[in-house]
């Protein structure tokens, strides 16, 4: 086969171009850390990379959601602990009030109970960020509508209405939220209730506990005829029975609150486990993704080295081949 | 002795021509398309001198060009193929760039961020900062669709410009070939030989033409080249037809496509041409299919797929949002508020998708709740977030899955094009090597020829000198 100057030079040129392109690609891989510089470099891997990225993003979403949900559980748990403690205090007050030595001090006990009612209300209005944790889905101030005598934009409010024979103080706790549960997506096919509804904590309608507490206050603060109890005034046997029954109801309510707190704890534990599992899965998926999309620095460096050597030798060989002909030896 | 002088003269002339041809070869060693030449010699006539038959030296029989029509045909075929695949690769790389692939600023990322924001908002539907984030992400997604669509439209426009420039060059080359046909026909000598340099020039023009089109060429006895493409004769004798790029608008669908019409020099159309290879075939295919948003072809159209994804995305999100209430919506029926709206016209496409401006000015209006006046209800935004994993979103795929399939298709096309390009390059290098082997100038060979002709010239001169000496001897015999 005849070899001409043109065929020699075009062959050398094409080799040098190819080697330069390969070196540029390796340098780009090392500089960016990306193994795949163009979609066409690895079509199958690209599909897998897209899938991994999508999965990781989704898992990260669920993980972030769980982060937020866990923070809310903590707020809820703290509030429930406070409510449980306050109810236990009220039960102790009720029990103490039944003691013979204390039966002439019910008006003082009544004031203490009223103070505790206010404490329970404060805990019932606990917020996480800008939302009320026990208000269901009507959980922002702007969503809570007030009707007189209500004044503030909190889900629970102690108001005073007209006294009645059964409620001589006229005190009433109004609930302006609802008992709809709130859920968050924690997986492709799993949701988790993130809220603790008011009825699960405070009984029917979200106010039953308060009715009991106000009934206790009324019994302690008022005589059987509805007049305010003065110092030294003793309760009637019926009132003693009523307080005993109310103390029992408050004890039951405390159990319900503790049960709700336990539910939150179980939920928190479940969410934490799920969160940890997601963190592990994300790490694993990122590892797979890295194997596909990241540059193997050692391999890329070695390849670059090989390409550089090949390039240098191609230059040397090319220079030698192109520089001599028979003319160089003719006298 | 007179015949010896004639023989010597002829040998001197033949050696001089040989040196001329060799010099020309050496001079054209770097001329593209040049085919090496060789002096053809034949023995002179035989004459009877005193009853003895004597040859009358050497005569030049012409100049031979080393050319193989089969190799040149292959050369054109693979030049067209290489340029077609090279153009394919260029356009596909531009599409990759338009989509930001492979990278972190892609539509897939924008969709992920949209769903992340929806998910975050679903966890805290009443939080204004999360609403603002959701609106920002939806706006980013729409902008990403717009950018990609605009970039693809730009590629399509530049494809058209490139096509018109290519066609202009094709017409120049066709005209050159026809003009060379005329000159070749007029350059023939008495023995029917044509000027080799004109043939080389014509071959070079033909070679360049094959970058743009798949062409076949046949040379007749007079040396004229007839050039045709896909059955359409483009050059015959000294007449060249010309191509014209036509932009056809389908008034029913609004689709624009490009086609090539073939015209006579007087402007009358003689037919249409569908290139099968070369740059023009690639440009036409990508303009008419890959980059055409309204194509009805079964081929892959990135523009159509993006429009489909954008439209479906907006439709699905809006359908869910229509049943939702914003923070301040208290009416008994939902306000049917869309999240995505067309920026112009009534149809949402990748280029027109935009965020509802009401949501930008008032993020509280983002429909998140399924019931009025329940800011904590996140049923609607949860359903929107759940679209991320909806396997029936489009063609039995999730939104990101569908986009992934588009990117994957592009990747496959790119890989396939690169493979074909690589194969065409390799074959073209082989063909080129074969062509060079036959037609190229080898300097060592020419150096040898140079010495050969130099020596034969010296020997011929010696014949003349010797004969002259002998003649002088004869002339001086009687002195």
DSSP string of B404-471, one letter each residue: HHHHHHHHHHHHHHHHHHHHHHHHHHHHHHHHHHHHS--HHHHHHHHHHHHHHHHHHHHHHHHHHHHH
Q: Is residue B333 part of a domain?
A: no
For B326, the 3-state DSSP assignment is coil
Q: Is residue A293 part of a domain?
A: no
Q: Is residue B473 part of a domain?
A: yes
Say yes or no: A188 contacts chain B, CB-CB below 8 A. Answer: yes
Residue with tokens 């005993």: A244
pLDDT range class, residue B426, cuts 50, 70, 90: very high
Among the residue ranges B46-55, B246-255, B458-467, the one predicted with the least confidence is B46-55
Q: Does one domain contain both B140 and B43? A: no
Chain A residues whose beta carbon lies within 8 Å of the beta carbon of residue B122: 65, 184-185
Q: What is the pLDDT of residue B342?
A: 96
Q: What is the pLDDT of residue B2?
A: 76
Among the residue ranges A64-68, B128-132, B195-199, B295-299, the one predicted with the least confidence is B195-199
Can you read off the two tokens belonging to residue B304? Answer: 């159509």
| Structural domain range at position B146 | 72-302+400-431
Shortest distance, CA B326 to any CA of chain A (angstroms): 11
Cβ within 8 Å, pair A6-B436? yes
**Is the pLDDT at A320 greater than 70, yes or no?**
yes
Report the chain A residue with the minimal C-alpha distance to residue B422: A18
Q: Does one domain contain both B127 and B36? A: no
Q: Is residue A69 part of a domain?
A: yes
Cα separation of B142 and B310, whole Å?
Answer: 8
Q: Does one domain contain both B95 and B166? A: yes
Cβ within 8 Å, pair A5-B30? yes
- Percent of residues, chain B, with pLDDT higher than 90: 71
The answer to ipTM > 0.90 is no
Shortest distance, CA A138 to any CA of chain B (angstroms): 5
Shortest distance, CA A40 to any CA of chain B (angstroms): 4
Q: Does one domain contain both B90 and B234? A: yes
Q: Does one domain contain both B126 and B50? A: no
Q: Which of B116, B377, B442 sits opposite A180 (nearest CB)?
A: B377
For B126, the 3-state DSSP assignment is coil
Q: Is residue B202 part of a domain?
A: yes
Cβ within 8 Å, pair B375-A43? no
**Tens of pLDDT, residues B231-257:** 999 999 999 999 999 999 999 989 999
Q: Is residue B453 part of a domain?
A: yes
**Tens of pLDDT, residues A108-159:** 999 999 999 999 999 999 999 889 999 999 998 888 888 999 999 999 999 9
Q: Is residue B345 part of a domain?
A: no
With beta carbons less than 8 A apart as the criterion, state whether A236 and A224 touch: yes
Q: Which of B122, B401, B437 sits opposite A1 (nearest CB)?
A: B437
Q: Is residue B459 part of a domain?
A: yes
| B451-468 average pLDDT score | 93
Cβ within 8 Å, pair A327-B441? no
Q: Is residue B366 part of a domain?
A: no
**Tens of pLDDT, residues B170-224:** 999 999 999 999 988 876 654 445 677 788 888 899 999 999 999 999 988 878 8
Q: Does one domain contain both B30 and B163? A: no
Q: What is the pLDDT of residue B1?
A: 62
| A243-250 average pLDDT score | 95
Give the best residue of A1, A3, A4 to mutate against chain B (max B CB count within 10 A).
A4
Q: Does one domain contain both B106 and B17? A: no
**Is the pLDDT at B165 greater than 80, yes or no?**
yes
Asked if the bond preceding A149 is cis, omega within 30° of 0, the reply is: yes
Q: Does one domain contain both B14 and B87? A: no
Number of domains in chain A: 1
Chain B residues whose beta carbon lies within 8 Å of the beta carbon of residue A178: 374
Number of domains in chain B: 2
pLDDT range class, residue B462, cuts 50, 70, 90: very high
With beta carbons less than 8 A apart as the criterion, state whether B177 and B49 touch: no
| Structural domain range at position A62 | 52-286
CB crowding B290-304: b at 16 or more within 10 Å, else e: bbbbebeeeeebbbb
> Rounded mean pLDDT of chain A?
92
CATH number at residue A107: 1.20.1330.10
Cβ within 8 Å, pair A57-B412? no
Cβ within 8 Å, pair B102-A34? yes
Q: Is residue A91 part of a domain?
A: yes
Q: Does one domain contain both B163 and B33? A: no
Q: Is residue A298 part of a domain?
A: no
Cβ within 8 Å, pair A185-B119? yes
Q: What is the pLDDT of residue B190?
A: 46
Q: Does one domain contain both B469 and B425? A: no
Q: Does one domain contain both B99 and B145? A: yes
**Is the pLDDT at B121 greater than 50, yes or no?**
yes
Q: Which of B101, B120, B127 sits opposite A39 (nearest CB)?
A: B101
Chain A residues whose beta carbon lies within 8 Å of the beta carbon of residue B327: 140, 142-143
Q: Does one domain contain both B56 and B127? A: no
Report the chain B residue with the minimal C-alpha distance to residue A322: B443
Greatest CA separation for chain B: 145
């Amino acid at each position: 086969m005849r070899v001409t100057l043109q065929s020699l030079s075009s062959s050398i040129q094409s080799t040098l171009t190819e080697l330069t392109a390969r070196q540029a690609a390796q340098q780009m891989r090392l500089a960016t850390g990306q193994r795949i510089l163009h979609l066409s470099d690895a079509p199958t891997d690209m599909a897998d990379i897209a899938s991994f990225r999508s999965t990781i993003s989704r898992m990260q979403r669920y993980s972030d959601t769980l982060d937020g949900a866990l923070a809310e559980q903590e707020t809820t748990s703290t509030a429930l602990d406070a409510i449980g403690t306050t109810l236990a205090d009220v039960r102790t007050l009720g029990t103490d009030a039944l003691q013979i030595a204390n039966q002439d001090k019910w008006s003082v006990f009544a004031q203490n109970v009223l103070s505790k009612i206010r404490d329970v209300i404060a805990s019932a209005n606990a917020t996480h960020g800008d939302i009320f944790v026990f208000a269901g889905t009507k959980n922002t101030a702007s969503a809570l509508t007030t009707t007189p005598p209500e004044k503030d934009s909190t889900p629970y409010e102690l108001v005073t209405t007209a006294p009645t024979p059964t409620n001589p103080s006229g005190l009433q706790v109004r609930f302006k939220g609802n008992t709809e549960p709130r859920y968050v997506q924690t997986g492709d096919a799993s949701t988790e209730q993130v809220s603790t509804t008011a009825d699960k904590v405070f009984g029917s309608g979200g106010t039953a506990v308060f009715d009991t507490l106000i009934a206790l206050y009324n019994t302690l603060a008022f005589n059987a005829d509805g007049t305010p109890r003065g110092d030294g005034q003793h309760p009637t046997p019926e009132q003693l029975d009523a307080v005993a029954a109310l103390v029992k109801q408050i004890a039951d309510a405390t159990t319900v609150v503790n049960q709700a707190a336990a539910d939150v704890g179980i939920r928190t534990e479940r969410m934490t486990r799920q969160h940890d599992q997601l963190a592990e899965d994300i790490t694993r998926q990122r590892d797979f993704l890295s194997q596909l999309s990241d540059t193997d620095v050692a391999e890329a460096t070695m390849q670059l080295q090989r390409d550089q050597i090949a390039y240098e030798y191609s230059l040397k060989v090319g220079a030698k081949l192109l520089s001599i002909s028979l003319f160089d030896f003719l006298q | 002795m007179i015949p010896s002088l004639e023989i010597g003269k002829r040998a001197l002339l033949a050696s001089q021509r040989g040196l001329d041809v060799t010099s020309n070869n050496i001079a054209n060693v770097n001329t593209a398309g040049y085919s090496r030449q060789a002096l053809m010699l034949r023995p002179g006539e035989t004459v009877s001198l005193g009853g003895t038959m004597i040859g009358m030296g050497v005569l030049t029989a012409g100049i031979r060009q080393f050319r193989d029509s089969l190799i040149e045909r292959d050369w054109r075929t693979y030049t067209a193929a290489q340029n077609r695949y090279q153009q394919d690769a260029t356009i596909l790389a531009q599409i990759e760039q338009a989509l930001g692939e492979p990278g972190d600023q892609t539509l897939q990322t924008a969709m992920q961020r949209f769903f992340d924001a929806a998910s975050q908002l679903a966890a805290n539907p009443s939080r204004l900062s999360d609403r603002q984030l959701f609106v920002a992400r939806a706006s980013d997604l729409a902008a990403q669709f717009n950018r990609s669509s605009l970039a693809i439209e730009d590629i399509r426009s530049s494809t058209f410009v490139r096509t018109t420039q290519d066609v202009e060059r094709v017409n120049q080359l066709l005209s050159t070939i026809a003009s060379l046909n005329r000159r070749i026909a007029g350059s023939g000598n008495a023995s029917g030989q044509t000027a080799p340099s004109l043939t080389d020039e014509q071959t070079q023009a033909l070679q360049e033409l094959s970058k743009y089109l798949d062409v076949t060429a046949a040379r007749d006895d007079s040396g004229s080249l007839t050039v045709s493409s896909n059955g359409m004769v483009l050059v015959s004798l000294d007449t060249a037809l010309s191509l014209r790029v036509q932009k056809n608008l389908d008034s029913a669908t609004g689709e624009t496509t490009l086609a090539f019409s073939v015209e006579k020099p007087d402007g009358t159309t003689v037919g249409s041409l569908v290139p099968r290879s070369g740059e023009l075939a690639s440009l036409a295919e990508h303009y008419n299919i890959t980059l055409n948003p309204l194509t009805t072809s079964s081929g892959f159209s990135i523009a159509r797929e993006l429009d489909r994804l954008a439209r479906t995305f907006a439709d699905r999100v809006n359908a869910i949002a229509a049943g939702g209430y914003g923070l301040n919506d208290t009416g008994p029926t939902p306000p049917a508020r869309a999240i995505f709206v067309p920026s112009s016209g009534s149809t949402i496409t990748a280029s027109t998708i935009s965020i509802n401006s009401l949501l930008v000015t008032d993020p509280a209006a983002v429909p998140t709740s399924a019931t009025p006046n329940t800011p904590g209800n996140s049923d609607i935004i949860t359903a929107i977030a759940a679209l991320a994993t909806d396997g029936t979103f489009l063609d039995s795929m999730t939104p990101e899955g569908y986009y992934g399939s588009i990117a994957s298709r592009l990747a496959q096309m790119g890989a396939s094009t690169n493979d074909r390009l690589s194969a065409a390059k390799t074959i073209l290098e082989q063909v080129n090597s074969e062509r060079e082997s036959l037609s190229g100038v080898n300097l060592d060979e020419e150096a040898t020829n140079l010495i050969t002709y130099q020596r034969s010239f010296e020997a011929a001169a010696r014949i003349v000198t010797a004969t002259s000496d002998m003649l002088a001897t004869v002339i001086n015999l009687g002195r």
